[in-house]
Amino acid sequence: MAIMRLGRAELKVMDLEKSVDYYTNVIGLEETGRSEGRVYMKAWDEYDHHSIVLQEADSPGLDHLAFKVEKLEDLAQFEKKVELFGCTVRRVSSGARLAEGQAIRIETPTGHQVELYHEIERLGKKVGSVNPHPWPLETRGIAPHALDHCLLTGEDVETATRFFMEALGFKQSEKIMTVDGEVMLGSFLFTGNKAHDIAFVKGPDKKLHHAAFHVDNFYEVLKAADILSRNEVQIEVTPTRHGITRGQTIYFFDPSGNRNEAFCGGYMTYADFPTITWTEDRIGQGIFYHRRELIESFMKALT
């Protein structure tokens, strides 16, 4: 039994049409369906029906994240492990959302809703799967390859980490610790070969810090900045590098205030990857490698 990857994020947005316009024309996702107040979207390099679901709501934030498991039978096994850990879990029936089969919905120790699923309709990549060209001719906006990772906040990062590692089989690529080594302030977790699929930093429970999309290289991050400026989207952090993950990044906000990131690079991981430790006194360099200090909004703006 195994979790393959982050499959989707359902984001709460306040003005559905304005958000669809942003995620379509600025981010460059493709709308793949609508049903019951939700809009389903995918990136051009993704083959499943959707990776982003926009849900109209009174306040922004994250409805849930979902990870795709290898086999349908894995759901029952993960259900047992989650219960054994002491977290609540319930079944979501097939067809509860568009193009999706059954899922299990878990409340994590930080109060976030996380689903595991296997079945989802497959639409295919925009470049096809027979003699494909490397990228489609018609793209809009930033045109990321895929949803990459999400960062959430929670009061107890250590327990959240234990839950993802012990119940869901994630590994830890990096952690941020207080200088005395007593308290975990940040945790970067992967399943597969990425530097992170999900991460936690210490902060209020149930909150979203950002949802990140994968782009090819640093020029694409720079081009994302150009596209954002052209569209007068609020950019929080202009293109730079993370010490943590070594990735290159830009942060900005969707029309509801949900933080987005365009991310590239980062090293590969394997199951035996030795966890990297950052100490709190070097956290500025860990997060913004060049600036070497945090900015206030980055710590405070959460949805």
Point out which span in 23-31, 99-107, 173-181, 210-218 binds Fe ion (CB under 5 A): 210-218
Residue 261 makes contact with Fe ion by CB under 5 A: yes
Point out which span in 61-69, 104-112, 208-216, 284-292 binds Fe ion (CB under 5 A): 208-216
CB 7 within 8 A of CB 70: no
- Angle 208-113-224 (CA atoms, 0-180°, nearest 5)? 35
Under DSSP, is residue 85 helix (H, G, I), strand (E, B) or coil?
helix
Q: How far is the CB of 75 from Fe ion (least distance, A)?
A: 28
Q: Closer to Fe ion by CB, 163 or 188: give it.
A: 188
Locate 274 and state its tokens.
């030795």
Q: Please state the φ and ψ torsions of residue 16, each to the nearest 5 degrees.
A: -60, -45
Q: Closer to Fe ion by CB, 254 or 261: give it.
A: 261
Locate 272 and state its tokens.
């035996």
Q: How far is the CB of 245 from Fe ion (least distance, A)?
A: 8
- Listed in sequence order, the residues at least 6 apart from 284 whose beta carbon sits closer than 8 Å to its beta carbon are 291, 292, 293, 294
Q: How far is the CB of 195 from Fe ion (least distance, A)?
A: 10
The Cα–Cα gap between 296 and 286 comes to 16
Locate 279 and state its tokens.
């100490």
For the beta carbon of residue 33, count every other beta carbon within 10 angstroms: 17
Q: How far is the CB of 161 from Fe ion (least distance, A)?
A: 17
Q: Closer to Fe ion by CB, 79 or 236: give it.
A: 236
Residue nearest to Fe ion (CB): 212
**Token match 């493709």: residue?**
30
Q: How far is the CB of 199 from Fe ion (least distance, A)?
A: 7
Task: Tell me the catalytic residues.
Answer: 149, 196, 210, 242, 251, 261
Point out which span in 46-54, 81-89, 182-190, 209-217 binds Fe ion (CB under 5 A): 209-217
Residue 115 makes contact with Fe ion by CB under 5 A: no
Number of amino acids touching Fe ion (CB under 5 A): 2
Residue 148 makes contact with Fe ion by CB under 5 A: no
Residue 176 makes contact with Fe ion by CB under 5 A: no
Using alpha carbons, select from 83, 138, 73, 132 the residue that is nearest to residue 105. Answer: 83
Using alpha carbons, select from 303, 274, 286, 146 the residue that is nearest to residue 209. Answer: 303
Residue 212 makes contact with Fe ion by CB under 5 A: yes
Q: Closer to Fe ion by CB, 212 or 233: give it.
A: 212
Binding site for Fe ion (CB under 5 A): 212, 261
